[in-house]
Chains A and B, each alone.
Chain A
Amino acid sequence: MIHSKPPVWILENITHIIQGCIRKEYKYQKILYELYLGFALKIAFRYMYRYEKAIDVVHDGFVKLFNQFPNFHPGTEADIEKMLFAWLKKIIINASIDELRKGQMLPEIGGIPEYVWEITDSNNDADQKLLYKELFVLILELPPSYRTVFNLYTIDGYSHDEISKMLNIPVGTSKSNLSRARMILQKNVKKLEVVKLCRI
């Protein structure tokens, strides 16, 4: 992607941006939004399956973030970005789970459109990206309850106790959902390998 001019946030220090957000200044809120939009969307999409819905979740998450920003207490300058990342991630995950609950964790129907992926043929690591994309899709194709536990435990590093509280399910259910998710993924990874060999 070619930018005609560098994004504004490149010129700003993250500490200034955060302080601006604490003061609820639109300029800094917009910079922060554009800075972390991709990061937040990737998290939401992992949980939501539908790209459009993930975007909605991200926007709701940002609204929540900006409204709660005055309560954000940044630590040292070295940690400030890490803390913000963790906070935003938590907000997006919670917003995604709320949205999944609203949809009653029902399985999604229909495939994932190709336009959500950025893959160029000329790129040297196109094959690598294609593989990552296919693995990402395998996660998305898990039933929602399995996908949520897999994401929370494996990708986002939550414990089964924490997942149990977040999803309001017994710890045993969390463990069994994870185990089933892994079984399905293992099976599908093998299928993926077979398909790749056939292509070759």
Chain B
Amino acid sequence: MQNIENDMDALFRKAVDQAPLIPATSRWEEISGKLSGNSTPSVAKEKINSFKKISGVFGYLLAGAITLTILTTFIKHHELISPDKTAKRIGNPMNEKALISTMRIQDIELKDINLFRVKKKTSVISYLKNENKTNFLSDPINAEEGKLNGGLSLNLNNIENINLFQNHKSIELTDSLNNSHNSSLVKLNSFHNSRFYLGLIGGPQLSKIKHQGLTKPGFDMGLLIGYRINKKISVETGFLFTKQYYFVGGKYYNSVTGVNTVNSMEGSRTAFEIPFKLNYYLFQKKSGGFFISAGVSSYVGVNDKILINVGEHPQPPPQKLDYGVASYLPSYLNFSLGYDYKFGKSTRFRLEPYLEIPMSSTAGNTININEGGALQVFNAGLHLVITEFIH
């Protein structure tokens, strides 16, 4: 057996050496042109890759800058409507989540305020005058649990509402005649101040190339982390494992020579996705809120396996392909809309249909079909998300 192999190897070595291949015509001009330009294809590729990497980094920086600008704008907006410097010292008392209760009180003088502390956090009381100008009644109150007596009396002429911003579950108001007003004890809803939330995300996904048919659905699943900038806007990122299936007709296999006996190609892809997106809540109710979102997604560690159906010809084993070079780039634009259902104090469940549109011919969103070129893959799916605010 070994001898047969050796003989055969020797025969093929000789054949390779002696095969009467026609020498190619000299195309020295092409080479000299490249040399004089002092640029080789490999160097050019490296330049392109460097450019893509730099573009990717700038993409993320730009997204960060936009987020920061939005954040700053909102903070400034809140500062403009709060004339009292106290607001700054206590952080952000105008945070709408912290508005627990609005009490309508007319011609009543506050005498005592009873505080029932849940956690050791600062509190502040504000009131709204007729001219709709917010003022703060006191500096942050750092009182221990119990009564805070005497120190906060004022004339409430022309005051229509008192807004309470604090972490306390209840407050008791007493008027100047020492009578409890409105049955004195006002039960307040508990709330959370946390803006960060973690979540589990996953769901079915369909991938499509050109106007080819759909094949079986893939899926993705992973972790999500978000930050609620305000009541309407949040930013999110995450890390998801994704499995996609796609189908390509044989006509895309070899567009150069026109020689084509490929019937079709079936591909599967595994990758890790890193999304970065902005959610905007169009409206919110007690039970939940409806939102739209937009952002970019990067794919890393992309592996494609392609099975080629070539009719009568023997099928080669599927090849495992690696697009490691450009895989961290933002390669997709993400658009989605969804509904957030609230469960309990800080848990939410979300249904979110989405669409991923390839941004450009980067490796993260394309599949290379021999000489047919790089074909872009579109993705769409439904995300099921469960999130929990971090306390």
Interface residues of A (CB under 8 A from B): 1, 24, 26, 29-30, 33-34, 37-38, 41-42, 45-46, 55, 58-60, 62-64, 66-67, 102-110, 115-119, 128-129, 131-133, 135-136, 138-139, 143-145, 154-155, 168, 182, 185-186, 189
Contact = CB atoms under 8 A, between A and B. Distances in A.
Nearest to B367: A104
Contact of B22 (A115, A131, A189): A115
Nearest to A102: B368
Contacts of A118: 20-22
Contacts of A128: 18
A199 B316 CA distance: 31
Interface in B6-45: 8-9, 11-16, 18-24, 26-28, 30-32, 34-35, 40-43
B interface: dominant SS: mixed
B254 to A, nearest CB: 6
Contacts of B370: 103-104, 106, 108
B319 interface: yes
Contact of A145 (B20, B24, B319): B319
Interface of B: 4-5, 8-9, 11-16, 18-24, 26-28, 30-32, 34-35, 40-43, 253-254, 257, 259-262, 304, 306, 308, 310, 316-317, 319, 321-322, 368-371
A74 B5 CA distance: 36
A104 B31 contact: no
Contacts of B22: 115-118
B26 A37 contact: yes
18 contacts: A33-B28, A37-B26, A38-B23, A46-B16, A63-B35, A103-B371, A107-B310, A109-B261, A118-B20, A129-B19, A131-B15, A133-B20, A135-B12, A139-B12, A145-B319, A154-B12, A168-B322, A186-B4
Contacts of B308: 106-107
A108 B370 CA distance: 8
A interface: dominant SS: helix
A119 B369 CA distance: 35
Contact of A60 (B5, B23, B41, B254): B41
Given A29-B35, A132-B14, A59 B19 contact: no
Nearest to A30: B28
Contacts of B42: 60, 64
A131 B16 CA distance: 11
Given A104-B306, A107-B316, A139 B16 contact: yes
B259 A63 contact: no
**Which of B32, B43, B253 counts the most chain A CB atoms within 10 A?**
B32
